[in-house]
Amino acid sequence: MFNTLGVVVEIAQALLALAVAPLLVGLIRWVKARLQNRRGAPVWQPYAELRKLFGKDTIVSSNASWIFRAAPFVVFGSTVVVALLVPVFVTPLPFNQVADLFALVYLLLLGTFALALGGLDPGSAFGGMGASREMTIASLSEPAIALAMLSLALGAGSTNLGEIAARTIAHPTDALSPGHILAFAALFIVMLAETGRLPVDNPATHLELTMIHEAMVLEYSGPALALVEWASWLKLTVFLTLAANLFVPWGLATSLAAGAIAMAVAATVAKLVVLAIGLAVFETRVAKLRLFRVPELLAVSFVLGLLAVTSSFSLR
């Protein structure tokens, strides 16, 4: 499907994911605010934040080098490339043959790597602490992601995302198999760790000693900060889309017909809204974990992934 229309749809899909990401985060914040018994900011508030940040000046530390200036572009760019990979509305698309789930994980790792270096560059203690903690969490969540994806790939016979989604569409009963459910649980925990949500990291905290992701970006300002924030929102959107469209892929368009795409847009938006509300309720319920309890949580996720692989093996 390397035709021009496919490529255009692919790029449009990624841009749409980019445009929808702030809305999704705004929805999560709104639901959390309502659950905190207050009115909260309107759902489109993140757009206002981005607009404001793009108009602000930038202050760069005198100790920082080109790494600090380049890191926001690398993290934003790598997350957009991941958005090109994920089946948001249509599957399979041209880029699907060029990269698969493992490439996706390593592209996200590229963003984390760049951000960690950007945190170390100005030489502040907060940046170093954030970089150290972020790399700890990222490295310990790798085996869990790998096994969760392995169980998905085993069912589909391939690690390419399009094949996995197509397989679940073709065999609907697979969605309720223990392997799938366990893989979903493992991926959910990993998503919390990778996107910096409670109980791993509180995105709204101001206490530096409790920060993981925020500590790395304390030094960024202006448009660079806008890119970094947008990239983290896009990362959350990508993970939610993966959860939605790999485990519950009905509604995904398998052709480029206008009707199918329209239905796919509606279906994906509905799934994302449900997942966002679910995430907000979950975050309200749990408390943040101590930093050195997080490896235990990730170990649980690893065991869930291992069980997912063994169950899909034994049920074959």
Partner 1 sequence: MTAAFALPLFWLMVAGYAIASAGLVMPTRRLVRMAVAIGSVAGGAGGLALACLVLWTDASLTIEAPAVLAAAGGWLVHLDRLGALFLALVSGVAIPVGLYAIAYMRSYEGRYSTRWMAFTFGAFLLSMSLVTVAANAVTFLLCWELMAVSSFFLVVTEHDRQASVDAGLWYLAMTHAGLLALMAAFFLLGSGSADGSGATFAALRSSAGLLPSETRAAIFLLALLGCGSKAGMVPFHVWLPRAHPAAPSHVSALMSAVMVKLGIYGLLRIGLDLLGGGPAWWGTLLIILGAASALTGVLYALVADDLKELLAYSTVENVGLVLLGVGAGFLFLSLGQPEAAMLALSAALLHLINHAAFKGALFLSAGSIVHATGTRDINLLGGLITRMPWTATTLLAGSMSIAALPPLNGFVSEWLLFQSFLPGVASSRASIAGLLTLGVGALALTGGLAAATFVKAFGVTCLAIPRSPGAAHAHESPGPMLAGMALLAAACPLLALATIPTLTTITGALAGVAGLPSIAPALHVGVTLRTPTGMATMSPVAVAMVLVAVVAGTWIVLRLIARRPVHVGDTWGCGRIGQSPRMEYTSTAFAEPLRRVFDQLYRPVDDTAVGVVRPESPYYIESMTYQTTIHPWFQRVLYEPVVQGVERVATWTRALQSGSVNAYVGYIVFVLVILLAWVIGF
Partner 2 sequence: MKLFQKIRRVGIVTEPLPEGGLDAITIVRPIDARARRLLGRSVGIRQVDAGSCNGCELEISGLAGPTYDLERFGLHFVASPRHADLLLVTGPVTRNMEVPLRKTYEATPDPKLVVAVGDCARDCGVFAGSYAVVGNVASVVPVDVVVSGCPPSPADILRAILVAIGRLDLPVASAPPAGVSPAGQADAL
Place of tokens 């235990």: 296
Helices 294-314/178-194 angle, 10° precision: 160
**CB burial class (10 A; 0-12, 13-18, 19+) of residue 294?**
buried
**Does residue 297 contact residue 138 with C-beta atoms inside 8 Å?**
no
> 241: Cβ–Cβ under 8 A, 6 or more apart, which residues?
17, 86, 87, 88, 268, 272
Binding mask 226-265 for partner 2 (x = CB under 8 A): ----------------------------------------
Please tell me whether residue 142 binds partner 2 under the rule CB under 8 A: no
As measured in angstroms, the least distance from the Cβ of 147 to partner 1 is 6
CB of 45 to partner 1, least distance (A): 20
Q: How far is the CB of 29 from partner 1 (least distance, A)?
A: 24
Question: Which residue from 85, 130, 78 is spatially nearest to 108, judged by alpha carbons?
Answer: 78
Give the nearer residue to partner 1 in terms of CB position, either 105 or 240.
105
| Alpha-carbon gap, residue 6 to 145, rounded angstroms | 29
> For residues 33, 221, 104 and 275, what is the CA-based torsion angle, rounded to 10 degrees?
10
* Residue 63 lies near partner 2 (rule: CB under 8 A): no
Q: Which does 206 bind (CB under 5 to 8 A by kind): partner 1, partner 2, none?
A: partner 2
Q: How many residues does the chain have?
A: 316
Residues of this chain, 28-47, that bind partner 2 according to CB under 8 A: 33-42, 45
Q: Which two tokens stand for residue 314?
A: 């034994």
Which of partner 1, partner 2, none binds 6 (CB below 5-8 Å, type-dependent)?
none
Kindly state whether residue 222 participates in binding partner 2, applying the rule CB under 8 A: yes
User: How many Å apart are CA 215 and CA 264, to the nearest integer?
Assistant: 38
Nearer to partner 1, 57 or 258 (CB): 57
What is the three-class DSSP state of 253? Answer: strand
Contact 241, 268 (CB under 8 A): yes
Burial class (CB within 10 angstroms; exposed 0-12, middle 13-18, buried 19+) of 257: exposed
Q: How far is the CB of 46 from partner 1 (least distance, A)?
A: 17
CA distance 117 to 263: 42
Question: Is residue 23 a contact point for partner 2 (CB under 8 A)?
Answer: no
Distance between CA atoms of residues 185 and 27, nearest Å: 23
CB closer to partner 1 out of 150 and 192: 150
Q: Near partner 2 by CB under 8 A, which window of 169-177, 216-224, 260-268, 291-299?
A: 216-224
Positions 277 through 296 that interact with partner 2 (CB under 8 A): 281, 284-285
Q: Does 218 bind partner 2 (CB under 8 A)?
A: yes
Interface characters, 166-205, with partner 2 (x: CB under 8 A):
---------------------------------------x
The single residue among 121, 163, 201, 214 that binds partner 2, judged by CB under 8 A, is: 214
Residue 134: exposure state from Cβ atoms within 10 A (0-12, 13-18, ≥19): buried
Q: Which is nearer to partner 2, 274 or 286 (CB)?
A: 286
CB of 237 to partner 1, least distance (A): 16
Which amino acid appears at position 33 of this protein? A
Residue 138 contact partner, candidates partner 1, partner 2, none, CB within 5 to 8 A by sort of partner: partner 1
Provide the binding-site residues for partner 2, judged by CB under 8 A.
Answer: 33-42, 45, 48-49, 51-52, 55-59, 205-206, 208, 211, 214, 218-222, 225, 281, 284-285
